[in-house]
Chain A
Amino acid sequence: AQTVTQSQPEMSVQEAETVTLSCTYDTSESDYYLFWYKQPPSRQMILVIRQEAYKQQNATENRFSVNFQKAAKSFSLKISDSQLGDAAMYFCANKAAGNKLTFGGGTRVLVKP
């Protein structure tokens, strides 16, 4: 069974500053992917970034980057130069073959102007 844990229920960041969201996971699979999804209030869940477990290089998408520590089963998300539009729930998710996504409980990000 796969599990995903997000230990921070809520994080607050000043506009233009950097915030890091934590995620740990457990899986017995050797081939898997990790994802961060963003869910704005009352809006659609969208993909932020994904990481292939077999790649050592950390994924980056514009202001979003991850720190993937495979041995520690850790997958944190860093949001740089935070903007008001980054305010949302962020979910970490794990997917092995078979297409089932396993989500963590989410971290709410508040951005202060």
Chain B
Amino acid sequence: DAGVTQSPTHLIKTRGQQVTLRCSPKSGHDTVSWYQQALGQGPQFIFQYYEEEERQRGNFPDRFSGHQFPNYSSELNVNALLLGDSALYLCASSLPTGGAGETQYFGPGTRLLVL
């Protein structure tokens, strides 16, 4: 049973560039959430996708956008990169019940460095 996968594992960009990160959910899951984890901190919720639509969004600017495909995989796009966008980006998948009890399963993350 494949778990959550993310690509690439590492990425180096320069300020002002754009980046796309990818996530494939765990088998049987169709809800994908994205988190940003700065060094030494806990993850911060960016947004969640379900049925190809953004269902919930955290306190992140519009430079952060996403997409979910019919096969439930998802992309996170960040435009006009800032130095402060350097972080580990985590993808998590879950079942679609929407209840509080659904466990989210995390991928290994993509480490983004902005120079």
Which of A11-19, A30-38, A64-72, A76-84 contacts the other chain? A30-38
Question: B11 CB to closest chain A CB, in angstroms?
Answer: 16
Interface contacts (Cβ under 8 Å), in number, total: 70
Instruction: Scan residues 5-50 of chain B and give those whose CB is less than 8 A from a CB of chain A.
Output: 31, 33, 35, 40-45, 48
Q: List, sorted by A's number, 24 A–B pairs whose CB atoms are closer than 8 Å.
A: A31-B100, A33-B100, A45-B43, A45-B90, A45-B109, A46-B106, A52-B101, A95-B104, A97-B98, A97-B99, A98-B100, A99-B55, A99-B94, A99-B98, A99-B100, A100-B33, A100-B45, A100-B58, A101-B45, A101-B92, A103-B44, A105-B41, A106-B40, A106-B41
Q: Is A44 within 8 A of B108, CB to CB? A: yes
C-alpha spacing A31/B55, complex, angstroms: 19
Q: Is B103 within 8 A of A35, CB to CB? A: yes
Q: Is A99 within 8 A of B104, CB to CB? A: yes
The residue in chain B whose Cβ has the minimal distance to the Cβ of A9 is B40
Q: Chain A's interface: helix, strand, loop or mixed, by majority?
A: strand
C-alpha spacing A97/B100, complex, angstroms: 4
Q: Is B101 within 8 A of A44, CB to CB? A: no
Chain A residues proximal to chain B, CB less than 8 Å: 4, 6, 29, 31-33, 35, 37, 43-47, 50, 52, 91, 93, 95-106
Given A45-B43, A99-B31, A99-B98, 7 additional A-B pairs, CB 8 A: A35-B103, A37-B106, A45-B106, A47-B105, A98-B56, A100-B48, A103-B44
CB of B66 within 8 Å of the partner chain: no
C-alpha spacing A51/B98, complex, angstroms: 17
Question: B80 CB to closest chain A CB, in angstroms?
Answer: 25
Chain B residues proximal to chain A, CB less than 8 Å: 3, 31, 33, 35, 40-45, 48, 55-56, 58, 90, 92, 94, 98-109
Residues of chain A within 8 A (CB-CB) of B104 are: 95, 99, 101
Residues of chain B within 8 A (CB-CB) of A101 are: 33, 35, 43, 45, 92, 104
The residue in chain B whose Cβ has the minimal distance to the Cβ of A52 is B101
The residue in chain B whose Cβ has the minimal distance to the Cβ of A31 is B100
